[in-house]
Amino acid sequence: MDLATILLLFKSSLLVGALCFLYVRGHGDHVQGLGVLATSFLLQAAATTLAGLVEAHDVVGAGWTLASFAFGLLGYALMWIGLKTLTTGAGANPLSLAFVPPVLLSIGIWASGHVQDNAIRASVFNLCATCYLLACAGMVFHDLRRERLSAKIPLSLALGFGALLCLAIVLGINGLVLSPAVLDVVFFLLIVLFFIICLFIIIMVKERTEADLHRLIATDELTGLPNRRHFFNGLPQQPNTGDAFILLDIDHFKRVNDTMGHAAGDEVLRKVAAAISGGLPSHAIYGRLGGEEFGVFLPGSGHDAALALAELIRKRIESHDGVVTTISAGVAIARTANGISDVMSAADAALYKAKQNGRNRVWLHAEA
């Protein structure tokens, strides 16, 4: 495969990728960084176009060669910035340091007089591309700890493989390891790889949108807790012996709304929600059931641990600054092969007893 064909195919893949990024950017959420990625691909397409014109002697002069070199490196710098912004939401100011290597290398290769030396120029370019692609791969893979999207794994692998291909090009240009025929294959793989990188970036955006939609459907907007539907969907239909259900209700909540306004009532709900979610074990299932009522399911906790947890939540809410608020809680433990509705009914009966006996207390139902 001759160089002109390689450059044409590479330019085509970059233009298609840029158009895809711009399309998704105009038709969806979580698109911060896609515009930068589109610009990155367009700059690299411009670089390959100039390289093709220089190769065909349609343009003459070291300035055109330098422009191709600089545009390509700036494209890789923007690729890192765009991926960083898209993946982590980082701001643009500190990321501008990514432009330093392209600027310094462009100045250096011009000042050294090597801008017309194809081997040196291409080696420097592809070594820099290797570093940028490795940085992109590491950044995307590291961000899996913060946001687990399955597309990040193949995306980071594709970026890492791209870095290896760029390094292989450096070795091939300098007559090491690779024959010219194998080097053509490496160039072709790099072209295909840019399609793959574009594909997995778009898949990552789609996965993030779907994950946010799922959170929106499953989350109570006011408190941030799982909503009633999500809570009940997570409960087992047949609890095991020792599973606990805690039903919590804010005391005199209507009085807060009537005397202090709904804004104060909303603040109380958020306060109670924070107290509940902040002290639960990781295996607990919890949520806002509606109004001023909350539920907690504790698999295998037994009555001692369930009572202690309910009491801890009660004390935390009672001692919280702001509007004076208390809660009552009913606790039920599954002791027989009853369904979840039986355990919940028992917790509801215990909650009624807690309110009947003065409120601001936890009550255990004897049998569930």
Tell me the DSSP string of 52-99.
Answer: HHHHTTSS-SHHHHHHHHHHHHHHHHHHHHHHHHHHH---STGGGGGG
CA distance 269 to 277: 12
Q: Is residue 209 within 8 Å of 28, Cβ to Cβ?
A: yes
292 is catalytic: yes
Q: Are strands 293-298 and 285-290 parallel, antiparallel or unpaired?
A: antiparallel
Q: Which residues of 169-202 are buried (b: 16+ CB within 10 A; e: fewer)?
A: bbebbeeeebeeeebbebbbebbebbbbbbbbbb
Which of the residues 267, 292, 293, 367 is marked catalytic? 292
Q: Is residue 337 within 8 Å of 238, Cβ to Cβ?
A: yes
> How many helices and strands (H and E) does the chain possess?
12, 5
Q: Where are the beta strands (DSSP E) in the chain?
A: 244-250, 285-290, 293-298, 327-333, 362-364
* Catalytically active residues, by annotation: 292
